[in-house]
Amino acid sequence: MPHTRRPAGDLIEAVVENMRANLETLRYSTVAPSHYIVYLSPAEHARLEGLIPRLRAETIRALDEELARLNRGPRLTRPLRRWLGGQPPHESAALQWHIDFLPDLDDEIQHDQDIIVQSDLILATEPEPGSGERTRRVRTHHTASDTTRSDAAPPRPSPAPAGPAVAFGRLAYTDRQGPHRHDIVRDSTTIGRGGTMYPVDVRVATSDHVSREHARIRRDPATGNLYLIDLSTLGTTVDGQQVPRGFDDTDGGKRENGAEVALPRRARIGLADTVFVDFEALP
């Protein structure tokens, strides 16, 4: 039987390769994306699950080493790089690298040896009011015989209102990347694991028990009231009470059915009893 497993070290090299493909040169620096997602077949993800903390640590080390290699050169020429026509120094776009290894639940991966690496680079805010940040996304799909690359901006979440943002509510939660806080400033705020075709406003790093688009908080502009809609497979709770499913399965897809529950001023939202989000409405 042929060996179909991809060596785990290949995943690290694939992330580094993706980083090299998504460098953005500015005036005084060349920035690399700081957030990467590696999608594996469910079987390969299960096989490597115990190694993921080590894989993440070694991937971070490899990215640091690659930036150091790109910046290597005579010490005296570094301050003069721009004057001499050289490339500005390479830096990560954020203070920390964020690396996720997730199972592919969209059936994009056909064979266990295939992987998809996705990086997101947050670019400068556009001048138009309410346009928000832009994200450049690079995806590399590695198979046993080929590597393909796509470069595109992902769909954006609902736009923020023009003018100073006013927070209607606040979410606080802890996932495997630590504690987080998110202010609700849009009339529609989606919570979930996110993914290739699932842009979310609040991205939760956790197991696949939490759906890619798990729940949505809707604000009624006329009344200011906030409502929760369950979009998940394994359910959503508010203060321990199950929320009715907010969609119907139709022809292999989902169609929202209007079911939602009003959120009290304070509530604890459970995502598949895996991650719990503390909600507070703001005056």
CATH of the domain at 103: 3.30.2320
| Same domain? 32 vs 93 | yes
Domain boundary among 152, 186, 217: 152
Residue 162 within any structural domain of the chain: no
| Same domain? 27 vs 124 | yes
Cα(236)–Cα(245) distance, integer angstroms: 8
φ/ψ of 64, rounded to 5, equals -60, -45
248-to-107, 129, 190, 254, 255 alpha-carbon distances in Å: 21, 36, 18, 6, 5
Collapsing DSSP states into helix, strand and coil, what is residue 279?
strand
Question: According to the model, what pLDDT value does residue 195 have?
Answer: 72
| Same domain? 174 vs 119 | no
Cα(238)–Cα(94) distance, integer angstroms: 34
Residue 158 within any structural domain of the chain: no
Nearest alpha carbon to residue 231 among 220, 221, 241, 217: 217
Cα(244)–Cα(112) distance, integer angstroms: 36
**8 Å CB contact between 120 and 135:** yes
| Same domain? 197 vs 277 | yes
Angle at 272 between CA 166 and CA 98, to 5 degrees: 65
Domain boundary among 88, 117, 152: 152
| Both structure tokens of 82 | 């721009």
| pLDDT tens-digit profile, the chain (283 residues) | 445 678 899 999 999 999 998 888 888 889 999 889 899 998 999 999 899 999 999 999 999 999 999 988 654 444 555 555 556 889 998 888 989 898 887 677 888 899 999 888 865 444 443 334 456 777 788 887 788 877 655 555 445 455 556 889 999 999 988 899 999 998 999 999 987 667 789 999 998 899 989 999 999 989 999 999 999 989 999 999 999 999 887 765 678 889 999 999 999 999 999 999 999 999 8
Question: According to the model, what pLDDT value does residue 108 have?
Answer: 78
Residue 164 within any structural domain of the chain: no
| Same domain? 183 vs 264 | yes
What global pTM score does this model have?
0.54
Q: What CATH number corresponds to the domain at position 173?
A: 2.60.200.20
Residue 92 within any structural domain of the chain: yes
| Same domain? 267 vs 182 | yes
Question: According to the model, what pLDDT value does residue 76 have?
Answer: 41
| Both structure tokens of 173 | 């939660």
Question: According to the model, what pLDDT value does residue 220 have?
Answer: 92
Residue 255 within any structural domain of the chain: yes
| Same domain? 144 vs 173 | no
Question: According to the model, what pLDDT value does residue 80 have?
Answer: 54
Q: Which pairs with CB-CB distance under 8 Å and at least 24 residues apart come from 53-56?
A: 55/8, 55/11, 55/12, 55/99, 55/101, 56/99, 56/101
Q: Report the domain count for the chain.
A: 2
| Same domain? 201 vs 103 | no
| Same domain? 109 vs 244 | no
Domain boundary among 118, 152, 186: 152
What residues make up the domain containing 62? 8-152
- Rounded to a whole number, what is the largest CA-CA distance in the chain? 65
Residue 34 within any structural domain of the chain: yes
What distance lies between CA 3 and its chain's CA centroid? 32
**Contacts of 26 by beta carbon, 8 Å cutoff, 6+ apart:** 88
| Same domain? 209 vs 130 | no
Burial of 178 from C-beta contacts in 10 A (0-12 / 13-18 / 19+): exposed
**Contacts of 180 by beta carbon, 8 Å cutoff, 6+ apart:** 171, 172, 173, 174, 202
Number of other CB atoms surrounding residue 273 within 10 Å: 13
